[in-house]
Structure 1
Amino acid sequence: MWALATAVVGSRPLLVTGGDDRTVRVWDMADHRQVGSDLVFPTEVTAVTMASDGRLVVGFGGDIAVLAPHPRA
């Protein structure tokens, strides 16, 4: 694991991890469970952060991706 961040989104405390396996995972710290599926990137993940509105920012290789949560129906 090379990257780690915490955030509170809504009222949920979350942990975001990323690393040399090119995978980002989001964890619900209250439930001790992964939220959603693994997110796989083309190169190693070197930085992660999460905004309070749920947007996930991931640094990988020389790129940055900003991902928005999928709206619930």
Structure 2
Amino acid sequence: MLVGIILRRITATVLYHRSTSAINTKVETNNGKVTLYGKASNAAEKDLAAKLANDVNGVKGVENRMTIE
């Protein structure tokens, strides 16, 4: 799957989910492995962002480097 498609799907999924829409997230991907950067309000938001990213078709794994503020 093309990198751009994966990036767009993850960004849209996180942006439009009601519990993560306010998170400022940066997404990088390399061969299906995704790294998330950004700031979450709490651990639940951080974990949900990773779960949403991992559920996107074509994602082989997620490294969550988001911080909690």
TM-score when normalising by structure 2 = 0.31
Higher helix share: 2
User: Is the radius of gyration larger for structure 1 or structure 2?
Assistant: 1
Higher strand share: 1
Higher RCO (C-alpha under 8 Å, 6+ residues apart): 2
TM-score when normalising by structure 1 = 0.30
